[in-house]
A and B are shown apart, each in its own frame.
Chain A
Amino acid sequence: MKIFSSLLIISRPIPKEPVPFKEMLPLKLRATVSGKGGKSSDVCCIHEMSVMFACFKENEFNQDLCSKEVEKFQMCYKDNLKTSKTKKEREAKGVLTPGEKKLSHKQLNVLLKKFPNVK
């Protein structure tokens, strides 16, 4: 008897749209991107660091004998700081450099404004 009743339910006509669709947001892509999740890791000079540590271990942490490696490591860090600073400034202004693959949200917005969606 139970099975029969359930079969009856299936045979009932299903309403065509049980939940009517409402367009809350316009169904198209926006012409901008938000600035969320723009953080990237600044890990740098790992190779130089490992070379320096290897030298330190050989010479029992005497820094004078590893001056070459130490200088290389420090130069690498300084260069990295400089480049990241200039990059940050450019990204904040939204300056586009041709051939750049990783863009910040501001740069992307500049690019999207230049080539807007066809309406």
Chain B
Amino acid sequence: MFGITKIQFFNSNLKVLSTIIQQNGMSQYPNYYIKPIYKKDSQEELIKSGEIKKLSHLPTRAALADQTSSFSNDPLANLLINYCMREGNKILARNLVEQCFENIKRLQLEKYHKTTNEEDKHQIDLDPKSILHKAIENCKPILQLTPIKRGGVRYQVPVPITDKKAQFISMKWLIAAGQEKESTVRFNLQLARELIDAANNTGRVIKKKQDLHRQCEANRAYAHYRWS
């Protein structure tokens, strides 16, 4: 519905628009520019449903540098790179995450060749990206403690969180676990170890999540204090 109105609006009074249009924050694009659809499968979906006709002649933003239709492009891995990044040094962050994936592959292959049992061999996951997805999924907390002031006392109140927030917390914990190491160990190796541990539902990050759940359980009497 919204797409049609956009098209009609854009086609009918282009000249009027250019006078009315205000700047879209700091963006170089006015706000009627649509975001690019760069994923091949989502494009095919649009072609199938016939919505591509509506979108094909709309003004579209240029794709960002990390938005590619490449087979290896993974939005979650991209997000991990962005969360690892410090002071805008994306090249370093990307290198670290790629080296971490390489380390995961090496560690898993080592495990694979050491096991003699055929059944156990098949159960070892050799794909670093699926390990990353599993690890993030396993580390997602369900609740969070938020301080709420009642009668001059701060109570730690357990509050349910959205999926997006849970994903952010899980990735934050994983990165923090990778940084917590001896100075002789590199970050990428430690992160690889933590990711493999988390994918197998063991390790420090999983313990951290369970500790948070324990605290929430201890403070469950305050649950009715929350108001947001």
Binding site for B on A (CB under 8 A): 39, 41-43, 45-46, 49-50, 52-53, 56-57, 61, 63-64, 70, 73-74, 77, 81
In the complex, B147 has a CB within 8 A of chain A: no
Report yes or no: A49 in contact with B214, Cβ–Cβ below 8 A: no
Evaluate contact between A57 and B217: CB separation under 8 angstroms: yes
Chain A residues with CB under 8 A of B217 = 53, 56-57
Given A49-B158, A61-B214, also A74-B227 (CB < 8 A): no
Q: How far is the CA of A46 from the CA of B220 in the complex (A)?
A: 9
Q: Is the CB of B201 within 8 A of A70?
A: no
Q: How many A-B residue pairs have CB under 8 A?
A: 40
For B227, list chain A residues within 8 Å (CB): 39, 41-43
Q: Tell me the B195-228 residues at the A interface (CB within 8 Å).
A: 201, 210, 213-214, 216-217, 220, 223-224, 226-228
Q: Is the CB of A53 within 8 A of B220?
A: yes
A-B contact list, 21 entries, CB within 8 Å: A41-B227, A42-B226, A42-B227, A42-B228, A43-B226, A43-B227, A49-B160, A49-B220, A49-B223, A52-B142, A53-B216, A53-B217, A56-B217, A57-B217, A63-B142, A63-B213, A73-B142, A73-B160, A74-B142, A74-B163, A77-B160
Q: Nearest chain-B residue to A70 (Cβ)?
A: B142
A39 to B226, CA, bound (A): 12
Minimum Cβ distance to chain B for residue A3 (Å): 52
What residues on A are CB-neighbors of B214 within 8 Å? 61
